[in-house]
Structure 1
Amino acid sequence: MAIAISQEAFDAMVRENMEDLGMDADEALADAVEALTLQGADLSGIIKRVPGEAAAAEVSPMVRVLDELKASHSASGGLGQDLDGLVSLIDELRGLCCSGDGTENAAIAVRNGGVEALVALCASARVAQERLLGSALKALSSLLRDIGSTEKFRQSEGPKIVMDILKGGSESSDLLDAGFSVVAAGSAGNEVVKESFMDLKVDELILHVMREKSKTNVQSLYDAIRVLLTPDDNRVVASQVYGYSRRFAEIGIAEVLVSALREQVAPSSLPSACAALKSIAVNDEICRSISENGGTDVLLQCIDEAGEQKNKVIAKSCCSLLSKLAASDANKSVIIQRGGFDRSLKLASRFSEDPSILQEVMSMVTVLTLRSPENAARAMEIGYGTLAIQAMQRFPSSGQTQKQACLMIRNLVVRNPENRTILLNDGAEKLIRKAKVMHGSCKDAASSALRDLGLDNYNA
């Protein structure tokens, strides 16, 4: 873990280099940066200046904007009376976080009270001041990038303040989008913030918004669902998100998401909606429920349309979700009965030069053929063995493509010995051994594929 250091400690080290060691200003500054970096100090957000030569606001435009923002908010009594001035400053702050130096500017803002200032502004503004709140929430989401910033957000009662805004401003699509972007950013990598939002019943709010805003697309809402249900905090041994996913399913969010995919999601938001639904599908019961509510049919239709429109982002996201649903044995037959094999092979042919699409298709077929010799026979019959061979031939440098082809070959042959001869005659052994040598990530999958093809020297 990186060592925390304050701006004051950094300035003191530069000053010591100059006064005690006789270094000139530039040398003292460079030496302090190098020494602290070697010691493992976290210098993100530290303003690298020579103390006394320039004020922080002169060195960093972010500090200047923050100082002006705090002064303006304080002068207006926290009520945002100078609306245009405040909005302009907030938008400038957000612009600095989205510039080429955005990461460093965001870190400087966090170190200098930016999160607390924006949360306080949101708390004092009225819901009717939609433009001010929208700008403040968007700026806040741009600052929440790591555990340090999300902890400041939590300690400032950010989750409760944002939830109050979302509840009061649920008629405004722009306010909802900005607010849920903060939910997503604030929850990323922070289990405690996720728990705070769940304690505040964010799941019930999400369900209400999705039911009430039937003609509106709020993409950040889908992102918030995905992040809330992702176990991404490496400080936690056992995440609670599995239980959260079940809560989302139990109150009907999965069902509403399927309806959204069927009727109202804009193409730009569809991948996010698929990712949200995938994060809810954590067990067999939920996967079956999604399929029974029309999820399989919707996804297959989206896959057809993505192929026709050459939209690889939608194609990948739909295939990925369909693979998750196929983990339920009950759904395997439904997917195949609805033409899943044929439609996915058609998609692969449309994107034959895109290895990322081929990987998703092969991943789905791998799941569909798991423990199912009937499905493996059908897959070979319509051409998935050929797809595996061609993918390995066309993309030898793509380790993920090679690995996924090996995994699919395993399931095509492990319970279907008749398929082994066909694939070996097509050159599978040579391709698999080449992948094993070229890609360390393929070693285990390649060895297993060679073994299941009936070859004795599969570890060679």
Structure 2
Amino acid sequence: MASKRITQETFDAAVKENIEEFEMGAEEAVQEAVEQFESQGVDLSNIVKTAPKVSLDSLQEPTHDVLQALNDLQESLTGSRPQEVSAHLARFCDQCRQQKASRYLAAQKGAYPILLAAWQLAATSDQGLLLQALNALAMLTDGQPDLLDAQGQQLLVATLAQNAANTDLTCCGIRCVRHACLKHEQNRQGLVKAGVLPLLTAAITQHSQHADVVREACWALRVMTFDDDIRVPFGHAHEHAKMIVQENRGLKVLIEAARGRSSIAFPDNPGVLSELCSTLSRLAVRNEFCQEVIDLGGLGILVTLLADCSDHQDLVKQVLSALRAIAGNDDVKDAIVQAGGTESIVAAMTRHLASPQVPTSETWTGQWQGLQRLPPHCQQD
């Protein structure tokens, strides 16, 4: 049975009634309204559970902080006052950061076109203001990908292309891409057509020493290969994976990023290595791609990670998943055996036997049986 929903206005009216009719304080009035609606089976996850505040001049209707920040932002944009725009963007982001309901309410009250205007104002003049606008957009689209329209898609790709050397802008722009594409096939296809894929792979190469950029770019690449939009019967997940590999050297980019300047990149940041391995798994969608991972030296990196980073459970999980993904034929299985992969796999699974996150031998079924049958492995027994 679907949960009941109410509008923010309905909730605010109940709070106001509790204050005016029953002489409750603001906190008590809000709590009473929450209990009242929840007892009726109403879903309040998208409701701001605070009392609207009276404006300083008392001339405007009481409103929520996030909407007041949005109104002030719109006024400063109308007057083309960049310093005020910056201050109000910061206030808006602070409010959106506090709870999901604030982002939802802001979106309902027209936040997207206002942020788009701030974005356009900053795009040609002020990188600091541009970063604030992108950060606000990333927050607003988190869980609300429908907000991004065709104009936003084009502007996002243009912003990434024009600011490719700026680490912070690249990272924030890619976060916008990720939020806009998660569970949204139309945005994925639109951004791919607009040229976002080469920008994502180039970001990993250009900013290979910056963990946040590499992490965000890997995540965004994976999202492009998802088939998670229930509104679309057939997505382009497989086609996008092929484009990343064949047209944008995706496997080479990931393997070189994991290798770094020495044997393994980010030795003190297993989280980034997990992202790289997880993305590698998502791209190994064809037999020749699995072989390409071997040819590029990816297998050696995966085996080394199993041996050197065995204490990090999530990294072990992602490495095992990557090995499982590429173990699609006997040539690849043979390479895994020759590289000492079977011993490393067994050792890793044994070490994390109690963890439900780490694959067991049962998870490997077909690949594991194939590894066991290969002559090189049999001779070691």
* 2:96 corresponds to: 97
Residue type matched to 1:73 in 2?
A: L
2:145 equivalent among 143, 150, 174: 150
Of 292, 312, 316, which residue of structure 1 is paired with 2:295?
292
The amino acid that maps onto 2:100 is T
User: Which letter does structure 2 place at the counterpart of 1:237?
Assistant: P
- The residue identity in structure 1 corresponding to 2:163 is G
The answer as to whether partners of 1:229 and 1:245 remain within 8 angstroms in 2 is yes
Matches of 1:274 and 1:220 in 2, distance apart? Answer: 14
Distance 1:38 1:238, change over 3 A: farther
> Shift of residue 5 of structure 1?
5.7
Equivalences, count: 364
Structure-2 separation of matches of 1:57 and 1:317:
53
- C-alpha displacement at 1:372, in angstroms? 5.9
Contact 1:137 1:178 in 2 (8 A): yes
- Of residues 235-244 and 129-138 in structure 1, the stretch that sits farther from structure 2 once superposed is 129-138
Is residue 2:245 matched to residue 1:249?
A: yes
Contact 1:118 1:140 in 2 (8 A): yes
Q: Deviations over 1:235-272 (max 9, x none)?
A: 12211111111111111112211111112643342212
**Contact preservation (8 Å) 1:271, 1:313:** yes
Q: Given the superposition, is the C-alpha separation of residues 293 and 128 from structure 1 closer, same or farther in structure 2, using an over 3 Å criterion?
A: farther
Whether 1:108 and 2:108 are equivalent positions in the alignment is no
Which letter does structure 2 place at the counterpart of 1:177?
C
Specify the alignment match of 2:343 in structure 1: 342
Task: Give the distance between the partners of 1:326 and 1:345, measured in 2 at CA.
Answer: 15
Hey, what does 2:76 align to over in structure 1? Answer: 72
**1:189 counterpart = 2:183:** yes
- For 2:344 and 2:228, how far apart are their aligned partners in 1? 34
CA contact (8 A) 1:127 1:168 kept: no
Identity %: 19
1:283 corresponds to: 286
TM-score (norm 2): 0.80
CA contact (8 A) 2:7 2:47 kept: no
Q: Give the C-alpha shift of residue 104 in structure 1.
A: 1.9
| 1-structure distance, mates of 2:153, 2:172 | 14
Cα distance in structure 1, aligned partners of 2:60 and 2:40: 25
Matched residue, 1:306: 309
Change (3 A) 1:363 1:254: farther
The answer on whether the counterparts of 1:97 and 1:143 sit within 8 Å (CA) in structure 2 is yes
SS at match of 1:221: helix
Secondary structure of 1:206's match? helix
Q: Conserved in 1, the CA contact under 8 Å of 2:349 and 2:360?
A: yes
Greater mean deviation of Cα atoms: 44-53 or 137-146: 44-53
C-alpha contact (below 8 Å) 2:201/2:217 kept by paired residues? no
CA, structure 1 residues 143+367, in 2 after alignment: closer, same or farther (shift >3 Å)? Answer: farther
8 Å CA contact retained: 2:309, 2:315: yes
- Give me the whole-angstrom Cα distance separating, in 2, the residues matched to 1:70 and 1:37: 38
Q: Where do residues 418-457 of structure 1 align in structure 2 (5 Å cutoff)?
A: none
**Does the 8 A contact of 2:66 with 2:102 survive in 1?**
yes
* Cα distance, 1:297–1:344 mapped onto 2, change above 3 Å: same
Distance 1:35 1:215 in 2: 50
Change (3 A) 1:2 1:192: farther
What are the ranges of 5 or more consecutive residues in structure 1 without an aligned counterpart? 383-460
Alignment-mate amino acid for residue 46 of structure 2: S
Partners of 1:126 and 1:51 in 2: CA distance: 33
Q: Which amino acid aligns with 2:359?
A: E
For residues 202-240 of structure 1, the C-alpha deviation after alignment (integer angstroms, 9 at most, x for no partner) is 112223334444544412111110111111111122111
Counterparts of 1:289 and 1:297, CA distance in 2: 13
**CA shift for structure 1 position 189:** 0.7
Q: Are 2:225 and 1:229 equivalent residues in the alignment?
A: yes
For residues 308-343 of structure 1, the C-alpha deviation after alignment (integer angstroms, 9 at most, x for no partner) is xx2223222212211111234431111111111111
Compute the RMSD of aligned alpha carbons.
3.7
Distance across 2 between alignment mates of 1:273 and 1:91: 32
Q: Give, in whole Å, the separation in 2 of the partners of 1:322 and 1:224.
A: 21
Residue 345 of structure 2 is aligned to residue 355 of structure 1:
no
Show the 5 A alignment for 1:112-151: 112-126=109-123, 128-146=125-143, 149-151=144-146
The one-letter code sitting in structure 2 at the alignment partner of 1:133 is: L
Residue in structure 2 matching 1:198, options 192, 213, 216:
192
Gaps of 5+ in 2: none
**CA–CA distance in structure 2, aligned partners of residues 124 and 37 of structure 1:** 47
Deviations 1:403-439, CA, capped at 9 Å, x for gaps = xxxxxxxxxxxxxxxxxxxxxxxxxxxxxxxxxxxxx
Deviation at 1:57, TM superposition (A): 7.7
| Matched residue SS, 1:334 | helix
| C-alpha distance in structure 1 between counterparts of 2:274 and 2:157, whole Å | 25
Using the alignment, how far apart are the partners of 2:365 and 2:243 within structure 1? 29
CA distance in 1, matches of 2:87, 2:349: 48
